[in-house]
Each structure stands twice: as structure tokens, then as C-alpha cells.
A and B are shown apart, each in its own frame.
Chain A
Amino acid sequence: MDLTYTPEEEDFRQEVRSWLEAHVPRRPLKSFDTREGFQQHREWERTLNEARFSAVNWPVEYGGRGVTLLQWLIFEEEYYRAGAPGRVNQNGIFLLGPTLMEFGTPEQKARYLPRMAAGDEVWAQGWSEPNAGSDMAAIRATARKDGDDYIVNGQKTWCSRGAFADWLFGIFRTDPNSERHRGLTFILIPLNAPGVTVRAIAQLDGETGFAEVFFDDARVPVANRLGPENQGWKVAMATAGFERGLMLRSPARYQNTARRLVEFYRAHAEAADPCLRDAVVRAWLNAESYALNTYWTVSRLMSGGSIGAEASLNKIFWSEMDLHMHETALALLGPRAELLRGAPDAGNIGEWLDGFLFALAGPIYAGTNEIQRNVIAERLLNLPKG
């Protein structure tokens, strides 16, 4: 055990820090859940990619730098420290990207990964359906093979970034006689294909962060299938593992929130309810625990371990932590907590309300925390299935 950085790791941190200092936009971009903000964020992805910073841990041939997971964590720390924009293509880079690398053909990797890294193709997810939420194996949307194409029908919903994205990945029922998690196939679909209709859904904050997508005899080449036919569940589980586990929520994000919360508390300590002192300390400790756990996991992965059902432990921890931090911030704000970002007297406090609304989704997306608890109980603790 040596919890200090190597000179190589320190050099990498310096390089990232200097580059971000020179390039992070001075003014915050508009929300990527608006059309204008989405374009601004796409431009930012292009800027990142020009310096090969959009997907640092990917192999060099696909637009990354081939750095270790540990250096990826360092990159993320610097990224949040610099206050750089949110990643509009995170569904692609952090979720589909690793899945493509594991299951994709060489042609698919060459076709999709560089454009993903460049921000030229931004990805939305297509998991849930109106009657398949927590029960994802209840999927009904179909893909029927017809020559070299699949003909896709049905509906996907809660597709994050779906309103403005270019592509969607998801699982579809390819075997009409199959049930549950058998007979599903992982397919990549361009959202501008004929027969595909995207309808944006306004979220709790009024912005269109997700969408429902309708497929009406949409034709998609068989070459867009990721992994074997009828094996889509296995491919999707790998993607979900990345989502709940390491890549979607790097610790720097929460350490950054915790630091802001501490600063905020210090500025308002005298007026604050004494109980909140403890809540702020807890928030700080949680963020530290999460960082330690991530570094611990990365050390394990670097010596050949894998992340499986452990991802569910992670997902519960970060989602509950994030919500707790924002609830604490709103409690500190007291009567000003209800002000929207744009209110004349809001100053910069509106960020906390935005963050709170976003955090509220955490225990739901990427598999509800109730589902995660089932996974932990059945797959880590080996309790009998219900």
C-alpha cells in the first residue's frame, strides 16, 4: 500500500491542470438539456477531443490516451476542480464506449468510438419502456430481422439526452417467442432514421433532459447489432455495471460538491441551525469515503479484478450521498432555498436547487436503489431469491 502519487501521475495531473486552466470556458455554458446548451456542450466535447482529453482512458487508436484508471481519476479530479462543463456525451463515452470495447467487432469500434470521442455523435440510452422500468426484462419493443436489416417497432422512454442526441443504444426483443431476459438484442439506432420519432419530456426542472422515442417500422442494418443476437441482456448488464459502478460518477464530482458545501457553511455558519454542522461534516466524510472506495476498487481492478454486483453498493452510496448533500445545502439556505437560478436575488445559490432536483433522480435512474438492494442481497450476500 502506498497512497502517494508517482512522478508520472503527478506530471499527468499538471498537464491536465494547465490545459484546463487555459481552455475551460470562462462563462458557464447553458444547460445541455436545452437545444442551445446542447450545441455548446458538443463544441466543448470537440475542444476536449482535440487535446485527446475527451476519453483519456480509451486506447490511443480510438481517440484516447490509453492512461490507467488511476490517471482517469486524476483527470476527473482536475476536471471538477476546474469547474469544467458537464459531459453531454457521458452515456456514450462512459457507458457505451466500454461496452463497445468489450463486445464490438473491430469494424464497429473503428466506426463508433472515434466519432463518440469527438462529440460528432452524441448518444442517448434506450432501456426503459412504459411497462418495463425496474422490471427491464419485460421489454416489448421488437426488432424483426428482414434480410440485412432489423425492422424496429415499439417505444422506449426516459431516454437521457434523447431530445437532442444523434444516436440511441438499447435492447430490443428479436425472438418474438422469447420471454424475460432471453431473446433480446443490443442495437445501435440513429435517431434521424425514417420511422423514428423523438418526443422530448420536460423534467422536474422544466427542461428536456430526457425523451420518449417511438419506432414505427424503422429499418436498422444488422451491422448495428452489438454482440450476438438474443444475447443483448448480457451486453446490457455490462453497460449497466459501468453505469452503476465506476465510470458514471467519479468521486471528484462529490468531493467538489462537498467542498462547496463546506465553504457555503463557513460563510453562513453563524445563522445556521447547529444540527447542520453535523450534516455538513457527514457530507464531507461521505465524499471522502466514496473517493477512498473508488481508489480501492481501482487498485483491485488494476491487478486483474472485475466489478460485478459490487457496482450496486456504489450506486446506492453515491445517489444517497448526493441527495443528502443537496438537502443539507437547501437547509442552510433556509427561506431562500426556493429561489430559481434566474431569480434577481438568487446570486449563485440557484445551483443548489438545480443540484437538488438532479440529485432526486439519482436513487431512481441506472436501476432504482430498491433493485440495487435486491442485487446486493442475492448476488453479494447470496440470500435466496424472492
Chain B
Amino acid sequence: MDFRFTEDQLNFQSSLRKALEKECTTEQIRALWRTETGRSPERWAKLAELGFLGLRVPEQYGGLGMDEVDLVLLIEETGRAALPEPVVETAVIGVPLLAGLKATKLAEHWLPKVANGEAILTVGHPVNPFVTDAHVADLLLLAHDGELHAVPRERVALQHQPCSDPSRRLFRVDWSPSKETRVAQPEEAQPLLDAALDRAALACAAQLLGAGQQMLDMGVRYATERQQFDKPIGSFQAVKHLLANVAVRLEFAKPAVYRAAFSVAQNGPARAVHVSHAKVVASEAAALAAKTVHQVHGAIGYTWECDLHIFMKRAWALDVAWGTAAWHRARVASAVLDGAAPATFGYSAPSASL
């Protein structure tokens, strides 16, 4: 039993953090709000260059063939930076969906392009009413009546749905399913779609951790600088205790998210419960961070100018994406309260504790 990440995993995380601190500043994020796509092709190329986009792509298709344990810290960094580009849709969910198909034709065509940064994927799953980043996706993987369809962008009609996070791009997708677009019948598609949901929810949880940590850091910085009554406001216990509560929640959410990454990578029997656990606690930690740090900032935190809302609104969006916290709590509840006796961490036989 060993909960540690490897040196390589930690090094990859720190190089991505450095890259994003340079390539994904809040000024750059704001500048993109005023562009038509809201996305940066230059940054996408950079992410491909770093190896991030091909990390989950099997080696025979030009990727690194790694798994979710390798990915999770990187996804966390994208949350910390509030990265607008669809790395999760493409590299975390889209890639394994294509790689998991029995017929290899699509994977052969698309996965090398994804690894090179030449193709963007997105996924339409029944748990979400809308599809993110459909406007820039080259290929949309869409569920329909339990089947999986692969549809090029030119074959869909998009209706943009503006939402609170100005970086987010949500669309209603209208399209016509046909034999041509169908890539998996329900029997094959269902497990793939279930796994996609768990991967996506895990990714949301990791991004929520990153965004939550970013907000806590902002709150601590502000409370240290801002003076009232001739003192930094962070010297008052009323402010200290608010921020300490956020630190507790974030700290206890982390290992739940990392364990979920392990369960997804291993495709363990308790994968769904572990992912839902991660999503619930990461959502709650990030929501508390948002609310608390907003309070700590006072009126300045209520302005468009203050960067806090970039992360706060991302946290709100991720909270309801790929299963709301309530949806995930209900999934845990039915396993723990209605199902067979739940496996608890540590106690159980090795296979069941995954």
C-alpha cells in the first residue's frame, strides 16, 4: 500500500504549473472572453508539445499510454489556472472513448491527431443537458438511445447557451443520428459511456481541487495585504477561522480524488462510488472556498475587475457538470444504504478496496 505519486508525476505537475502560470494568466483569460471562439490555438499547441494531450493516447497511436493516476495532478493544475481549453473533453474523456471502441478505424484516424494537437474532441453524455466546446471540436462523440455516435462538426447545428463563467462555451447540439454516424451499439456503448462519466467526474473533482486551492491562496494573500483598524484583516480570528475551515475541507478532499484516480485507472469494482465520493467532497470544498474567499474580499470581491470570479464561476460550473453533487451523493447513498455492505477503505480484501 503506497499512496505516493512518483517523482516523474510530481515533476510533470510542476512543469505544467509553470507553463500555465506563463501561458494562462488571468489577463490572457480575460482577453479570450472578447474573442469569437474564446479559445487559444497557440496554447493548445503548447499543451500538445508538453505531452499533455497525448498522455492518455495509447503508444501505438503516438501517445504516452499513461493512465488517470498520471493525469490527475495535471488536471488539478488546469483547475488552478482556470484553463479555458477543452483538455478534459479531448484528452481525458474523448481519447479513451475512441480507444475503447472495438473497431479501431476511428482511433487510428483521430488519436494521432489528438496527441499532436491537431484535433479537438468533445462528448455529449445524457447526464449533461449541453455539450461543452462543440464549436471548436473536430469530432463530437454523442450518446443517443444508448448508442454512441461520432459526428464531425460540419454535421451538427449548434445553439450557444451563454452561462455565468465567461470562459465556458456550452451548446445545444442538434443532429441526425444515422447508421453512418453510429460507432457502437448499446451493448458496447454503455460501459464506455459509464466509464466516460466516471473519468469526467474525476476530472471535474481534480479541477475543483485546483480551483479551490487557487481561491484559498487568493484569500490568504488578500487577508495579508488588506488593512483595516490598522492591521491586516488576516490577523483577526474571525477571518482566520473562515480560511482555516477551507484548508481543512480541501486537505481532506485531495486523497479522495487521488484514490478515485487509482480506481478509474484500475477499473476497480467500486470505481463509481469512489468517483462520486471524490466529486462530492471536491465540490463542497471548492464551494466553501468560493463563498469564504468572496466574503474575505468584501466589496472588491463583488466586482468584475477582481479575478476571484474567474475561479468562483468555474467552480460553480464544475459543481453541476457531469453529475451534480446531489446526483453523486445519491449514487453513493444507493451503494452504501441500499446495496450490498459497502467496502470501506483499508479494511476490505485488496480487490474490493479498489
User: Which residue on chain A has the smallest CB distance to residue B334?
Assistant: A281
User: Which residue on chain B has the smallest CB distance to residue A283?
Assistant: B336
Selected contact of B256 from candidates A10, A292, A300, A374, CB within 8 Å: A292
Selected contact of B253 from candidates A9, A289, A384, CB within 8 Å: A289
Chain B residues, Cβ within 8 Å of A266: 337
B248 touches A77 (CB 8 A): no
Give the distance in Å from the alpha carbon of A133 to the alpha carbon of B346 in the complex.
36
Which among B6, B231, B239, B244 has the greatest number of chain A C-beta atoms within 10 A? B244
B342 touches A303 (CB 8 A): no
A288 touches B248 (CB 8 A): no
Interface residue B45 (Cβ < 8 Å from any Cβ of A): no
User: Which residue on chain B has the smallest CB distance to residue A288?
Assistant: B345
B277 touches A290 (CB 8 A): no
Given A1-B258, A288-B256, A296-B254, 16 more contacts at CB 8 Å? A1-B3, A3-B3, A9-B1, A251-B345, A281-B337, A284-B342, A288-B277, A288-B344, A289-B281, A299-B1, A303-B4, A313-B251, A381-B220, A381-B244, A381-B247, A382-B224
A293 touches B251 (CB 8 A): yes
Interface residue B237 (Cβ < 8 Å from any Cβ of A): yes
Give the distance in Å from the alpha carbon of A77 to the alpha carbon of B251 in the complex.
23
B252 touches A293 (CB 8 A): yes
Question: Interface digits, B209-227 against A, CB 8 Å rule (1 contact, 0 not)?
Answer: 0000000100010011000
Chain A residues, Cβ within 8 Å of B241: 370, 373-374, 377
Interface residue B245 (Cβ < 8 Å from any Cβ of A): yes
Interface residue B354 (Cβ < 8 Å from any Cβ of A): yes
A2 touches B1 (CB 8 A): yes
Chain B residues, Cβ within 8 Å of A136: none
Give the distance in Å from the alpha carbon of A285 to the alpha carbon of B255 in the complex.
12
A2 and B2 in contact (CB under 8 A), knowing A285-B281, A288-B277?
Answer: yes
Interface residue B96 (Cβ < 8 Å from any Cβ of A): no
A255 and B346 in contact (CB under 8 A), knowing A280-B337, A370-B241?
Answer: yes
B237 touches A278 (CB 8 A): no
B220 touches A383 (CB 8 A): yes
Selected contact of B235 from candidates A288, A289, A386, CB within 8 Å: A386
Give the distance in Å from the alpha carbon of A81 to the alpha carbon of B341 in the complex.
14
Interface residue B116 (Cβ < 8 Å from any Cβ of A): no
B344 touches A287 (CB 8 A): yes
B346 touches A251 (CB 8 A): yes
Interface residue A70 (Cβ < 8 Å from any Cβ of B): yes
Least CB distance from A164 to B in Å reads 33
Q: What's the count of A-B pairs with C-beta under 8 Å?
A: 163
Which among A3, A77, A293, A376 has the greatest number of chain B C-beta atoms within 10 A? A3
A-B contact pairs, 26 of them (CB 8 A): A3-B3, A5-B350, A70-B1, A73-B346, A74-B346, A81-B347, A255-B344, A255-B347, A258-B344, A262-B342, A284-B332, A284-B336, A285-B332, A287-B344, A288-B256, A291-B346, A292-B255, A293-B255, A296-B255, A299-B2, A300-B4, A384-B224, A384-B232, A385-B235, A386-B236, A386-B237
Interface residue A317 (Cβ < 8 Å from any Cβ of B): yes
Chain A residues, Cβ within 8 Å of B254: 293, 296
Interface residue B243 (Cβ < 8 Å from any Cβ of A): yes
B240 touches A383 (CB 8 A): yes
A386 and B240 in contact (CB under 8 A), knowing A3-B262, A285-B280, A299-B2?
Answer: yes
Chain B residues, Cβ within 8 Å of A281: 329, 332-333, 336-337
Chain B residues, Cβ within 8 Å of A265: 337
B345 touches A377 (CB 8 A): no
Interface members, chain A 292-345 (any B CB < 8 Å): 292-293, 295-296, 298-300, 303, 310, 313, 316-317
A252 touches B337 (CB 8 A): no
Chain A residues, Cβ within 8 Å of B253: 289
With an 8 Å Cβ cutoff, the count of chain A residues facing the other chain is 59
Chain B residues, Cβ within 8 Å of A3: 1-3, 259, 262, 353-354
Chain B residues, Cβ within 8 Å of A2: 1-2
Least CB distance from B320 to A in Å reads 18
Chain A residues, Cβ within 8 Å of B220: 381-383
User: Which residue on chain A has the smallest CB distance to residue B280?
Assistant: A285
Interface residue A277 (Cβ < 8 Å from any Cβ of B): yes
Give the distance in Å from the alpha carbon of A5 to the alpha carbon of B80 in the complex.
33
Chain A residues, Cβ within 8 Å of B259: 3, 292
Interface residue B69 (Cβ < 8 Å from any Cβ of A): yes
B247 touches A313 (CB 8 A): yes
Interface residue B234 (Cβ < 8 Å from any Cβ of A): yes
Give the distance in Å from the alpha carbon of A3 to the alpha carbon of B271 in the complex.
13
Least CB distance from B225 to A in Å reads 10
Interface residue B5 (Cβ < 8 Å from any Cβ of A): yes
Chain A residues, Cβ within 8 Å of B234: 377, 383-384
Interface members, chain B 244-282 (any A CB < 8 Å): 244-245, 247-248, 251-256, 258-259, 262, 277, 280-281
Interface residue A354 (Cβ < 8 Å from any Cβ of B): no
Chain A residues, Cβ within 8 Å of B256: 288-289, 292
Chain A residues, Cβ within 8 Å of B255: 289, 292-293, 295-296
A299 touches B346 (CB 8 A): no
A299 and B3 in contact (CB under 8 A), knowing A285-B332, A292-B345?
Answer: yes
